[in-house]
Amino acid sequence: MAGSMANRAHMLLTVVLAGALLTLGMLAAFGAIQIRWVDKADKAAPGARITPAAGADEFFKALGDEAYCFKYEGAWIDCWIEVDKDGVKSRPWEASGNVLREMLGGQGQAAATPTGYLVWVRRKGNGHEEWSMGLSAVGKGGQSFG
């Protein structure tokens, strides 16, 4: 009895898997799905790619500051630092991405593919810390703005 139950389960599983393969083959044959190897170029998602900027943080460390440096490519970015001072929150530099885009567009310097750098710097001293932020973009001809 246990053997016949196992045989039935095996047969059911075989039929279900064969049906799934047949369905997959028909979908591929009629062009509803595409089965292919993925090229390296296909792995990159469209939109902004943000990566650490190598070596920049070491420069700031030599000055006694802590910095977070990134390179962005493929899309415009917006960024800000949220500050909470005595319970009052503010976002300095919140419009920096818009200002940079307007500046480049107004001068006709916007490159076809947005590329640039973002840096946050933290300085400690006198019992408090100070944050700064910089955002740049590479315009036509490779000139940096920001």
pLDDT at 43 over 60: no
| Token representation of residue 84 | 């909470």
Angle subtended at Cα 19 by Cα 2 and Cα 23, rounded to the nearest 5 degrees: 160
* SS3 (DSSP) at 57: helix
Residue 41: what pLDDT?
A: 53
pLDDT at 80: 77
Query: How far apart are alpha carbons 136 and 143 in whole angstroms?
Result: 10
Model pLDDT for residues 47-95, shown as the tens digit of each residue: 778 888 888 878 888 888 888 898 888 888 877 777 777 888 887 767 6
| Residue 44's pLDDT band (cuts 50, 70, 90) | low
- The residue to which tokens 């898997």 are assigned: 17
pTM over 0.85: no
Q: Is 123 exposed, middle or buried (0-12, 13-18, 19+ CB in 10 A)?
A: middle
Distance separating alpha carbons of residues 70 and 97, to the nearest angstrom: 15
